[in-house]
Amino acid sequence: MRKPALELAELVRTEQLTPTELTETCLREIDRLEPQINAFTYVAHEEALAQAAAVTPGPERPFAGVPIAIKDNRAVAGMPITMGSDAWGDYRPDYDAHVVRRLRNAGFVIVGKTALPENGILPTCESRRNGPTANPWDPTRTPGGSSGGSGAAVAAGMVPVAHGNDGGGSTRIPAACCGLVGLKTQRNRVSSGPDSGQSYLTVDGVLTRTVADTAAITEIIAGYEPGDANWPPPPPVPYTEAVGQQPNALKIGLTLTPALASAELDPECARAVHEAARLLEQLGHSVEPLETTPWGDKDLLPDFTKAFGPATAMASIAAARLHGREEPRQDELEPLTWGMYERARNLNAIDQLTAQSRLERVAREIVTALMPYDVVLTPALAQRPLPTGAVHGRGPDPFGNYRRSGAFTPYTAIVNVTGLPAIALPLFHGDDGLPTAVQLIGRPAREDVLISLAAQLEAALPWAARRPPKT
């Protein structure tokens, strides 16, 4: 399962492999590695083999027979959805989320659901319900989160690609921790239906080994769905075409300033940005430090929590209603999740709307300030992947964990606030053997420029063949 999804699809299309053979191989790898990685909350052996037997290649199914895993916060018909929480029990929806339907229609075979922290709150992956997921590069460390199970599954070679979503970095963070490509598209690029309307912060995506896979799959899942309240304009260039286009000489801004004053930048993470800047200049782009970083003097964490917290509380309320109750029980939720729920319940509507309004005002300031640049280069993370147990949202000080998680990932959530597209790329490896990623932030709705530039960097410094030890 270490070949890119596009290569596997070609093997099926040319009849060198059948969808069933490919799915059986994938399930064997999951069974072999799952005891040490713990990436899955559910493995769909029978369902996946039945789907593989029924799928046939064709122009409308470009990924026929290719296995994929779905993060356990999106509905897959007949499979459990738990949000990493005991509150959901064994609920199995009878429908697919829109993003899942699009993946299924493209021919992907869904082999299971992947782990996340409870309600996707933290950038680690060790819920009370499922236990910690291991980073394949170092099993004592986190694979990141909240799409941590997906990142670990792809990095370990359990699946060639996996679904994720990103409300504060939750696709880019596991990509950075696990040595993968993680694209956060422009706000509302991918529909969040049918369960919810537009999301101010979160957008679905995928974790892959290559930029080409990311481009092709994003092209499939992006676009309007009936009833969507907002959606961005289509890209000027299809993503799959952007992969093969050399970008024009770009003006790239560089900043190491985190969007959280208390965050300290690890020298390894800073070194990666400077080395990436040198590589970009060798490729013909101009790189210059931002004179001032528009988020450098702002503490957005309180307002971000007020905007983000109610969404996590709604997940707990939805779970309670499955069991005929209006509110969740404290014993069903981890301490941080319960604390988020209580804060959201006690937050009046005016305070919440005021917080979001302030974030939107700041977002306008940031986007305006960055417009002179085609792309902005930052660290993907401020620290190396955290040791397992460092941040889990339980214990006597769950909100202390929450604040520490912000110091780990102070470059990602600000992009969700702005709505801009951004991509994490695993350009380097540190002396500790762990991947070291950088983040590229694009102009509004210009994922095509990010994809073109990312493909150019990938060609100059390939990473897809790197393999974690002991997998």
Beta bridge partners of 126: 132
Report d(CA 185, CA 376) in Å as an integer: 15
Question: What distance, in Å, lies between the first and last C-alpha atoms of the chain?
Answer: 11
- Write down the catalytic residue from 71, 184, 298, 306: 71
CA distances from 320 to 89, 332, 342, 413, 421 (A): 10, 9, 15, 28, 34
Distances (CA, A) of 446 to 102, 132, 267: 22, 36, 30
170 annotated active-site: yes
Cβ(396)–Cβ(130) below 8 Å: no
Which one from 85, 127, 150, 170 is the annotated catalytic residue? 170
Beta-strand ranges (E) seen in 255-396 are 286-289, 375-379
Cβ atoms within 10 Å of 469's Cβ, excluding its own: 9
Q: How many Cβ atoms sit within 10 Å of the Cβ of residue 190?
A: 25
Note whether 282 and 291 are within 8 A (CB).
no
Query: What is the distance between the alpha carbons of residues 125 and 117, in angstroms, rounded to a whole number?
Result: 5
Strand-strand pairing, 126-127 and 131-132: antiparallel
Q: Can you give the three-state secondary structure of 35-84, one letter per residue?
A: HHHCCEEEECHHHHHHHHHHCCCECCECCCCCEEEEECCCCCCCCCCCCC
Query: Has 470 been annotated as catalytic?
Result: no
Residue 306 in contact with residue 346, Cβ under 8 Å? no
CA angle 206, 162, 385 (to 5 degrees): 80
> Which CA distances in Å does 464 have to 179, 213, 435, 467?
9, 11, 12, 8
Report the distance separating Cα 105 and Cα 96, nearest Å.
11
Residue with tokens 């994922």: 447
- At 58, the amino acid letter reads G
Q: In one letter, which amino acid is 314?
A: M
What values do phi and psi take at 186, rounded to 5? -55, 145
Q: Which of 85, 127, 146, 316 is catalytic?
A: 146
The dihedral sign for the CA sequence 362, 364, 369, 371 = positive
Residue (of 184, 185, 199, 193) closest to 225 by Cα position: 193
Active site residue 71: yes
Please give the positions annotated as active site: 71, 146, 170
